[in-house]
Amino acid sequence: MIKRRYTQTIKVGNVIIGHDAPISVQSMTNTITEDTVSTVKQIKDLESYNCDIVRVSVNSSEAASSLKDIVKQVNVPIVADIHFDHRLALASLEAGVKGLRINPGNIGDNKKVKEIASACKDAGVPIRIGVNSGSLEKGVLEKNGGDFAEAMVESGLKHIKLLEDQSFYNIKISLKSTDVLTTVRGYELLAEKVDYPFHIGITEAGTVFSGAIKSGVGLGILLYKGLGDTIRVSLSDDPIMEVIAGYNILRDLGLRRGGVQLISCPTCGRSEINIAGLAKEFEKISFKIKSDIKVAIMGCVVNGPGESMHADVGIAGGRNKSVLFSKGKIIGKYDNKEILQALINEVENITGEKINLNQN
Ligand code: SF4
């Protein structure tokens, strides 16, 4: 059983973050924000995969003005990602965003920090301080003897103080490095000093393969230690993959329920059916299923029946025909050409959800 760290709670729109609230999954659009149509489409796609919060980069006044239209057309809470320019933060708040990501130490004088803090207070909008090992302030790394984890903590505390000086406490914080152990140590050190909720992630983690593994390791360690209240898996891929990876990490740690838990065998010389192909085909169409369901796709009659019987739905593959199990019982034997469809039909039958075969 994972014991989560006590934190204050904040609200990003209707999503509660911190303490014992469900750990939320975030992603970020990679469209040009000024392109309202494409950005809205991508946010709606993310919504359909149950993404809890979406961050949008706001790096120009044009982007801030298209944010107004974007916010109106979507349901998920939007966080504006701002660097350096406090006017973009104020314009984003006016556009109706539910969160800001901005580092107050990077926007100039105290007057500007005060303006943002006061506008956020009026709107009930929290600020995420997002410290990144690649963009630490000058001198802080040297001061900490080249220790990135210590340097990120010092930087984070500095930004926090600027907000606290304005009596602003509606804060969450992230300390992200591309290195797993540095990231973990940074959050561990910071957890000893503040009780603000943590947004956790491994920054610029990589492709969907290497990045999901790296994030799984890093976030897995942090979450297991009870550190982390909202997560983003950062991947060089479609943002939808970030959401899918995020939910998988949480589900594998027993921190969230829902979705398909796929069990598929690695295959060996006994397999007489293309299990890898079948598992991949099924996985592609399974991502949108919301019900909590275990599906086993197994290559032969050695382990196949056992695993399949313990899953909600399962296949034990054979040379020309495969056996389909449902809730522990054999419900039919199907030609291998028809087994995927039979599996899908049974999953629909059990979950009551309609599976769209053309979804990405
Ligand atoms: S289920 Fe059968 S085919 Fe798959 S790895 Fe085990 S023994 Fe091999």
Looking from the CA of residue 304, the nearest atom of ligand 1 is: 1
Please say which residue of 204, 220, 252 terminates a domain. 252
**Whether residue 272 is found in the same domain as residue 317:** yes
Task: Report how far apart, in Å, the C-alpha atoms of 349 and of each of 68, 295, 306 are.
Answer: 42, 13, 22
Residue 3 belongs to some domain of the structure: no
| Cα 256 to ligand 1 centre (Å) | 29
Task: Give me the CATH number covering residue 236.
Answer: 3.20.20.20
Distance CA(159)–CA(291), nearest Å, equals 41
- Rg, Å, the chain Cα set: 23
Distance CA(308)–CA(127), nearest Å, equals 47
Residue 359 belongs to some domain of the structure: no
Please say which residue of 217, 252, 287 terminates a domain. 252
Write the Ramachandran bin of 106: left for phi over 0, alpha for psi from -120 to 50, otherwise beta.
Answer: alpha
The separation between the first and the last C-alpha atoms of the chain, rounded to the nearest angstrom, is 34
Q: Which helix (H) or strand (E) holds 344?
A: helix 339-351
| DSSP tally for the chain: helices H, then strands E | 12, 15
Q: Which helix (H) or strand (E) holds 120?
A: helix 110-123
**Whether residue 225 is found in the same domain as residue 273:** no
Residue 246's pLDDT is 96
Q: How many other C-beta atoms lie within 10 A of the C-beta of residue 210?
A: 12
Residue 201 belongs to some domain of the structure: yes
Q: Ligand 1: does its nearest atom lie under 6 Å from the Cβ of 170?
A: no
Task: Give me the CATH number covering residue 298.
Answer: 3.30.413.10
Residue 356 belongs to some domain of the structure: no
| Cα 271 to ligand 1 centre (Å) | 6
* Number of domains comprising the chain: 2
> Which residue lies with its CA nearest to atom 2 of ligand 1?
300
Strand ranges inside 240-337, DSSP E:
259-264, 292-298, 313-316, 321-326, 329-335
- 332: which strand partners? 324
Q: Are 244 and 28 in contact (CB under 8 A)?
A: no
Q: Which of 119, 85, 118 is nearest to 102 (CA)?
A: 85
Residues 93-144: tens digit of each pLDDT: 999 999 999 998 888 888 999 999 999 999 999 999 999 998 888 899 999 9
Residue 273 belongs to some domain of the structure: yes
**Whether residue 75 is found in the same domain as residue 156:** yes
Pocket test for ligand 1, best of 272, 278, 301, 303 (most atoms within 8 A of CB): 303
Residue 46 belongs to some domain of the structure: yes
**Whether residue 16 is found in the same domain as residue 102:** yes
Degrees (nearest 5) of the Cα angle 33, 35, 37?
115
What 8-state DSSP symbol labels residue 106? G
**Whether residue 50 is found in the same domain as residue 154:** yes
**Whether residue 81 is found in the same domain as residue 208:** yes
Looking from the CA of residue 266, the nearest atom of ligand 1 is: 5
Residues 331-355: tens digit of each pLDDT: 999 999 999 999 999 999 999 998 8
**Whether residue 114 is found in the same domain as residue 157:** yes
Residue 358 belongs to some domain of the structure: no
Q: Ligand 1: does its nearest atom lie under 6 Å from the Cβ of 314?
A: no
Please say which residue of 219, 252, 285 terminates a domain. 252
Query: Given the DSSP bridges, would you call strands 24-28 and 78-81 parallel, antiparallel or unpaired?
Result: unpaired
**Whether residue 102 is found in the same domain as residue 238:** yes
Residue 219's pLDDT is 97
**Whether residue 42 is found in the same domain as residue 155:** yes
Q: Ligand 1: does its nearest atom lie under 6 Å from the Cβ of 133?
A: no
Q: Say which residues have a Cβ less than 8 Å from residue 34's Cβ, sequence separation at least 6.
A: 60, 62, 63, 66
| Cα 303 to ligand 1 centre (Å) | 6
Residue 5 belongs to some domain of the structure: no
Mean pLDDT by 10 residues, the chain (360 residues): 95 97 97 97 95 97 96 98 94 97 88 95 97 89 95 96 97 95 97 98 89 96 98 95 95 91 92 92 88 93 82 93 94 95 95 76
Residue 119's pLDDT is 98
**Whether residue 283 is found in the same domain as residue 324:** yes
Residue 93's pLDDT is 97
**Whether residue 286 is found in the same domain as residue 215:** no
pTM: 0.92
**Whether residue 121 is found in the same domain as residue 195:** yes
Query: Which residues span the domain enclosing 315?
Result: 260-351
